[in-house]
Amino acid sequence: QFPFGRRLPCDIYWHGVSFHDNNIFSGQVNKFPGMMETVRKITLSRAMRRMQDLFPLEYSFYPRSWILPEELSLFVAEVRMIKDSNPSWKPTFIVKPDGGCQGDGIYLIKDPSDIRLTGSTQSRPAVVQEYICKPLLMDKLKFDIRLYVLLKSLEPLEIYIAKDGLSRFCTEPYQEPTLKNLHQVFMHLTNYSLNIHSGNFIHSDSVNTGSKRTFSSILCRLSSRGADVKKLWSDIISLVIKTIIALTPELKVYYQSDIPAGKPGPTCFQILGFDILLLKNLKPVLLEVNANPSMRIEHEQELSPGVFENVPSPVDEEVKVAVIRDTLRLVDPQKKKRKDTQCLLYPGTADGKFQLKPVTIQVKSGMKDKQHKHHSLKLSLKLKFYLKLGSCQSWEQAPGPSEELPDAAPSPEAALPSLCLKQVFPKYAKQFNYLRLVDRVAALFIRFLGVKGTTKLGPTGFRTFVRNCKLSNSNFSMAAVDILYIDITRRWNSMGIDHKESGMCLQAFVEAFFCLAQKKYKARPLYEQVALLVDQCECRLADLQGKRLLWGCG
C-alpha cells in the first residue's frame, strides 16, 4: 500500500475512492473519472428518465422518480392527478438524499405533504420514488440483491457480471407500509449497515442462512419452488446492460476531460455494485448503483461493551475475493504476453525456487478510517494467497538456477478456479445496440467542445454545431438558436449542476437536441425524431469531413 503515492510507474493502480486519488499517467486504474458523480441518485434518476422518455417499455425496471427540491410542485401535482383519476391508489414513497449512503437519511412517506421541508432539503437535494410495496419475500423477510458488475472498458464497451452476489435481509418480518410501521427501518430498509444494529441480525457460518446470504442460495430455493431462474438471470443481465448504456454518455464526457484522446494516460476499469429488488412475479427492479461497493470480508463482533473483534464472514469471502481476483485476471497486462510466449521464469526467492515476473499493483485506500484500511489490507492478503495458487511458487518441484526449464511450463491460469465473471457485452451487443442513441448524441457534444479537458459547451460551439449540421432555416434562425442555448443553459445551471465552469452541460445539450428533433420531425415518436436527427447530423458532418480532405489534397 502507498498512502502517499509512488514515484515509479505501476501496472495497476487500485484506488480506494475515486480516479483522482493519485496522479497517474500510464497503466490501468480501477476507477473511471466521473463515476461517483454519474451514479449519484439524482444523476442516475435523470439518466434513467431520459431513457424512459425514449424507450418507456425497455426501462420500466426503474421506479418513477422526482427530484427535490426542484420538482416538488410537479411531484405534488402528479400525485394529486393520479389519486383523482384512481381513488383506490394508496401509494407509499421513499425519500433518498442525493449524497446519502448506507441508508443514511432515508425515510418513507404516504403523502407529498409529509416531506421534511427543512433547510436540509435545500442544502441536501434528494430523490423521491414510488416505494415497492409488494416485494418477493423469503422466510417472511424483505431482501435485496447486491450484484457485482465489472465495467472493463468504456470504448469499446465491455461489461462483465459476477455469477454470484449477496442477498441482504431485513431483520423484522415484512408488512406492507402503514402509518404505524413507516418508521420501522429493520422491516423496510435492506441496508446491511442499518440491519447490523438490529438484535435480530444473524451472522451465519453458512452461505445459505442468516441475514446475509449468497444470491445463488436464493436461486436454489426459487428453483426448488418451480421458478424460472434462467429467465430471472436473463432479466437481470438486461437490466445491467441497459443501466450502463444509460450511464455511458456522461462517463464519456468525464473520460475525455481527464484523459484527452491522443495524450498519454491510463486506461480504466471499475467494479460497480448493483442493488436490485425482486417483485413477487420475479421482475427485477433497480434500486441504485454504487461506485464504491464495500469489499469487506469480515464483520465486527462485540466481545464485551466497547470491545470488538474482527470475525471472518464466509459469505462475503466467497463472493468478494472471487470478484477481485478475477477482475485482476481480466485486466492483467501480462496475460496477453503469456498467451503468445512460453511462461518465462526467473530466480526470485532465497530458496532457489522460480516465480513469475510480477505485475506491480499500487493499492491506495483513500480512507481516513483505520478500520477500512485494515479490512482493505486483509482482503489484499487474502487475494495474495489466491493469486499465488497460479504462480510458479506453488509448484512442489521447481528447477534450480542451473537446471534446464521444462519444455512447457504450466499456465498460471491452470491452478485458478474458472472465472466467476461472465461477459455480457459485447456478447449480447446486437440485442441492445439500438438503445445507444444518447451515446451518439454525446459523441456530437464531445466533438464540438473545442477545448480539450472541458465538460461544457460554449455558445460558439453550439452555434458551430447547428451551422455545420445545417439545422437552422427560415423557420429557425440563428437568433432562435442563441435563445434556445441561453434558456436551457440558464435553467440547468440554476439547478446547481457543476458551477466550476460556465456553459452547456451534456444533459442540457441532450434536452436541446431533443427540442431540435421535435421541431424538425413532428408527429413521430420521440425515439424516431431523435434517431433521424442523429443520422442527419452524422451524415452532414461526414460530408463536411470528406470535403475538407478533398480541399486538403487539392
d(CA 297, CA 278): 25
Does the residue 359 lie in any domain?
Answer: no
Q: Specify the DSSP class assigned to residue 155.
A: T
Residue 423: exposure state from Cβ atoms within 10 A (0-12, 13-18, ≥19): middle
Are 212 and 326 in a shared domain? yes
Q: Are residues 454 and 329 in the same domain?
A: no
Question: How much is the average pLDDT of 518-530?
Answer: 94
Residues 149 and 284 reside in one and the same domain: yes
Kind and range of the H or E element at 483?
helix 478-494
Bridge partner residues of 97 (DSSP): 126
Concatenate the DSSP letters of all residues of 513-543 into one string: HHHHHHHHSTTS-HHHHHHHHHHHHHHHHHH
**Can you give the CATH number for the domain in which 202 is found?**
3.30.470
Within this chain, do residues 330 and 438 fall inside the same structural domain, yes or no? no
Cα within 13 Å of Cα(359), Cβ side: 23
Check residue 395 and give its pLDDT.
Answer: 30
Same domain as 329, residue 440: no
- Whether residue 420 lies inside any domain: the answer is no
- Report yes or no on 8 lying in a domain: no
153/267 same-domain check: yes
Give the pLDDT band (50/70/90) at residue 102: low
Q: Is the dihedral of CA 392, 393, 396, 400 positive or negative?
A: positive
Is 176 in the same domain as 314? yes
Identify the helix (H) or strand (E) that includes residue 218.
Answer: helix 215-224
- Cα separation, 240 vs 428, in Å, equals 12
More confident site: 447 or 351: 447
What is the model's pLDDT at position 345? 34
Q: Which of 273-287, 398-412, 475-489, 522-536 has the lowest mean pLDDT?
A: 398-412
Which of residues 77 and 18 earns the better pLDDT score? Answer: 77
Pair (457, 309) in one structural domain: no
Q: Is the pLDDT of residue 472 over 80?
A: yes
CATH number of the domain where residue 534 is located:
1.10.238.10
276: pLDDT confidence band, cut at 50, 70 and 90? Answer: very high
CB 50 within 8 A of CB 512: no
Neighbouring CB atoms inside 10 A of 419's CB total 17
Cα–Cα distance for residue pair 449/458, rounded to 1 Å: 7
Residue 390 in this model has a pLDDT that exceeds 50: no
Residue in 170, 177, 176 with CA at minimum distance from that of residue 193: 170
Cβ contact 253:13 at 8 Å: no
- By the 8 A CB rule, do 32 and 19 touch? yes
The model's pLDDT over 143-189, given as tens digits with 9 standing for 90+, comes to 999 999 999 999 999 999 999 999 999 999 999 999 999 899 999 99
Gap between the terminal Cα atoms of the chain: 58
Are 187 and 307 within one domain? yes
Query: Do 320 and 179 reside in the same domain of the chain?
Result: yes
On whether both 439 and 309 belong to a single domain, the answer is: no
What is the domain count for the chain?
2
Answer with the one of 280, 308, 334 that is the final residue of a domain.
Answer: 334
pLDDT at 103 over 90: no
What value, to the nearest 5°, has the Cα angle with vertex 362 and ends 240 and 355?
A: 105
Residue 220 falls within a domain, yes or no?
Answer: yes
Helix, strand, or coil (residue 402): coil
At 354 the pLDDT is 38
Q: pTM here?
A: 0.86
Query: In this model, does residue 404 exceed pLDDT 70?
Result: no
Burial class (CB in 10 A: 0-12, 13-18, 19+), 442: buried
Within a domain: residue 427? no
Element (H, E) at 323: helix 314-331
User: What DSSP designation does 98 have?
Assistant: T
Residue 497 has phi, psi (to 5 degrees) of -95, 105
Question: Residue 273 domain-assigned?
Answer: yes
Name the band, by pLDDT with cuts 50, 70 and 90, for residue 25.
confident
What local confidence, expressed as pLDDT, does residue 350 receive? 39
Structural domain that includes position 443: 434-551
State which of 334, 358, 377 marks the end of a domain: 334
d(CA 90, CA 23): 52
pLDDT band for position 98 (cuts 50, 70, 90): confident
Which of 302, 334, 366 is the last residue before a domain boundary?
334
- Say if 86 falls within a structural domain: no
Mean pLDDT of 239-266: 90
If you average pLDDT over each of 1-5, 238-242, 518-522, which comes out highest? 238-242
| Residues 165 and 145 sit within 8 Å (Cβ to Cβ) | yes
Using only C-alpha atoms, the chain has a radius of gyration, in whole angstroms, of 26
pLDDT value of position 223: 95
Q: How many helices (H) and strands (E) does the chain have?
A: 17, 20
457 in a structural domain: yes
Q: Distance (Å, rounded) from C-alpha 339 to C-alpha 184?
A: 55
